[in-house]
């Protein structure tokens, strides 16, 4: 009885606060247009099960700059390239911090990671560490052999599949995780290097997917603070449990690293120092205004890299193979280019990638139709500002609908069609890149908070896609037709396939090539 009374009082207080805020709200210029909000919950009911779809549909009614009220929070949505550029280029400095959210609080070590850290000295310190020691051109070249070795392990595993269909996304996730693990920790995270998958790989994949699902939930407590303690959707409780699992995983990694003296699972044969060894050495020696690096920040940084740097790449490659299965003429054209540039006598290497023009166009088109983060991670206005004649209040949350922008019929011809040639000379967007300069296709975001691992992600996606298409032909399980392949999206922060891609790989090269 006491609990019911407390809930009623909380709801009453929330209603009174909503009324007071609504009555006091007076702005010097109009807010952007948008659907009328409900009392207290605002427009939360408009988001649906796939918010990037729902917001794209609303933008067709209210325009490319739209205002929503989620609980007590102002939210602005950019759904066109020009509008996104206003926020992420012209007003980028004003939108460089993240709004408060339960994911950062309960999973990401209370905002001590790189992704959700407030914009300022600590964030710049973490960004610099990643830029210098992990994502610089030199660092990427130093660990090129690691990526190529792990892709080679994947191809041998696929070659040995025989007549069995495989879950391609799972194998890709193991490959990307092990490649990143060897750079970060000096050892593989899963398997023994023979291509076999241990049980921990399945659990890790499930943990990452669960994180992305939870992070994609619009948690009522984030938008109506008076109701946060109730955890009405059970999101906070699930996040705390998931954080405990990730924390145990990371503690185990660090403890094993310390026991091995930083030698990792490669027996000390690693050519360059792994990131964790570097981070530990920097704990008391970080230059600049950010201060010392704490143990918690090290774990938070590892969490970011393992979650954002693995499943996004593997899912993008999975989408690419699915699209090519549905478009056999495009698949044949890619393989023709690969045979001409690489030839049948050796595997693809990263040195080949700049010469694979059509393959690069295929990857760009995959990023366009299936961006790994369809709704950008939220940003927050540090000060009042004006965008396209509309008033954006201080504290407003910004969402960029990357998925909608990449399917804008005013920007793309046949926007729903998979047409890589649009990125080739003579196509509609021959000079467009995906590195945050061309706002019509920004799968990694843009501006100060652009994805720190963009360069690594591009290399890994291109190398994996090229290798899979060069080394294998692909069949669907018996009874499935390519033209009817399920392309439904799953709910979450990242763009997962609703149904895993089950395929049967058929080697198309001589057996000795897979041993290279």
Rounded Cα gap, residues 338 and 152, in angstroms: 17
Sequence-distant (6+) residues with CB within 8 A of 300 are 108, 109, 112, 113, 114
Question: What's the Cα-to-Cα distance from 123 to each of 282, 399, 470, rounded to whole Å?
Answer: 15, 20, 40
| CA nearest neighbour of 97 among 70, 124, 77, 116 | 116
Q: Is 126 helix (H, G, I), strand (E, B) or coil?
A: helix
Sequence-distant (6+) residues with CB within 8 A of 444 are 434, 435, 436, 450, 451, 454, 457
Task: Give me the numbers of helices (H) and strands (E) for the chain, helices first please.
Answer: 18, 9
Question: What's the Cα-to-Cα distance from 349 to each of 150, 151, 302, 341, rounded to whole Å?
Answer: 12, 10, 27, 11
23 burial (CB, 10 Å; 0-12 / 13-18 / 19+) is: exposed
Rounded Cα gap, residues 133 and 135, in angstroms: 6
Q: What is the dihedral of CA 386, 390, 396, 401, to 10 degrees?
A: -110
Instruction: Please answer whether residues 94 and 373 qualify as being in contact, where contact means their C-beta atoms are separated by less than 8 angstroms.
Output: no
Instruction: Please answer whether residues 78 and 84 qualify as being in contact, where contact means their C-beta atoms are separated by less than 8 angstroms.
Output: yes
Rounded Cα gap, residues 513 and 483, in angstroms: 32
| Residue 206: count of CB within 10 angstroms of its CB | 11
Q: Is 283 helix (H, G, I), strand (E, B) or coil?
A: coil
| CA nearest neighbour of 291 among 124, 133, 452, 136 | 124
Sequence-distant (6+) residues with CB within 8 A of 210 are 238, 242
175 labeled part of a ligand binding site: no
Instruction: Please answer whether residues 353 and 459 qualify as being in contact, where contact means their C-beta atoms are separated by less than 8 angstroms.
Output: yes
The token pair that represents 279 in the structure block: 């981070």
Residues that constitute the known binding site for heme = 451
Residues that constitute the known binding site = 451
């Amino acid at each position: 009885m006491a609990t019911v009374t407390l809930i009623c009082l909380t709801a009453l207080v929330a209603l009174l606060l909503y009324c007071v805020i609504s009555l006091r709200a007076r702005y010097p210029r109009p807010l952007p247009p948008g659907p009328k909000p409900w009392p207290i919950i605002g427009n939360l009911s408009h988001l649906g099960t796939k918010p990037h779809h729902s917001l794209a549909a609303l933008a067709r009614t209210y325009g490319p700059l739209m205002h929503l009220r989620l609980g007590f929070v102002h939210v602005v949505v950019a759904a066109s390239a020009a509008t996104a550029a206003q926020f992420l280029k012209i007003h980028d400095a004003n939108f460089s911090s993240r709004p408060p959210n339960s994911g950062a609080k309960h999973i990401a070590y209370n905002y001590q990671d790189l992704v959700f850290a407030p914009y300022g000295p600590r964030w710049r310190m973490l960004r610099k560490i990643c830029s210098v020691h992990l994502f610089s051109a030199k660092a990427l070249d130093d660990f090129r052999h690691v990526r190529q070795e792990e892709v080679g392990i994947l191809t041998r595993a696929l070659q040995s599949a025989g007549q069995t269909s495989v879950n391609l996304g799972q194998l890709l996730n193991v490959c990307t995780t092990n490649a990143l693990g060897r750079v970060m920790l000096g050892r593989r995270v899963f398997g023994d290097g023979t291509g076999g998958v241990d049980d921990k790989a399945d659990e890790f994949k499930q943990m990452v997917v669960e994180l992305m699902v939870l992070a994609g939930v619009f948690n009522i407590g984030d938008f109506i603070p008076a109701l946060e303690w109730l955890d009405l959707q059970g999101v906070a409780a699930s996040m705390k449990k998931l954080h405990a699992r990730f924390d145990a995983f990371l503690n185990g990694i660090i403890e094993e690293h310390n026991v091995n003296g930083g030698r990792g699972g490669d027996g000390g044969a690693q050519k360059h120092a792994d990131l964790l060894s570097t981070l530990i050495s920097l704990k008391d020696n970080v230059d600049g205004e950010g201060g010392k690096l704490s143990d918690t920040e090290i774990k938070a940084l590892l969490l970011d890299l393992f979650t954002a740097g693995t499943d996004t790449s593997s899912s993008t490659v999975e989408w690419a193979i699915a699209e090519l299965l549905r478009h056999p003429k495009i698949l044949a054209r890619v393989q023709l280019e690969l045979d001409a540039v690489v030839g049948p006598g050796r595997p693809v290497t990263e040195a080949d990638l700049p010469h694979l023009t059509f393959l690069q166009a295929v990857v760009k088109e995959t990023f366009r139709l299936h961006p790994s983060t369809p709704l950008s991670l939220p940003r927050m206005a540090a000060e009042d500002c004006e965008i396209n004649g509309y008033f954006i209040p201080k504290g407003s949350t910004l969402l960029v609908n990357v998925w909608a922008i990449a399917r804008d019929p005013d920007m793309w011809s046949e926007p729903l069609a998979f047409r890589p040639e649009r990125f080739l000379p003579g196509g509609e967007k021959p000079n467009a890149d995906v590195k945050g300069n061309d706002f019509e296709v920004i799968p990694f975001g843009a501006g100060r908070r652009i994805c720190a691992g963009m360069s690594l992600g591009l290399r890994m996606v291109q190398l994996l896609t090229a290798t899979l298409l060069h080394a294998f032909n692909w069949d669907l399980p018996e009874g499935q037709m390519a033209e009817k392949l399920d392309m439904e999206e799953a709910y979450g922060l990242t763009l997962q396939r609703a149904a895993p891609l089950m395929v049967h790989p058929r080697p198309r090269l001589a057996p000795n090539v897979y041993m290279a």
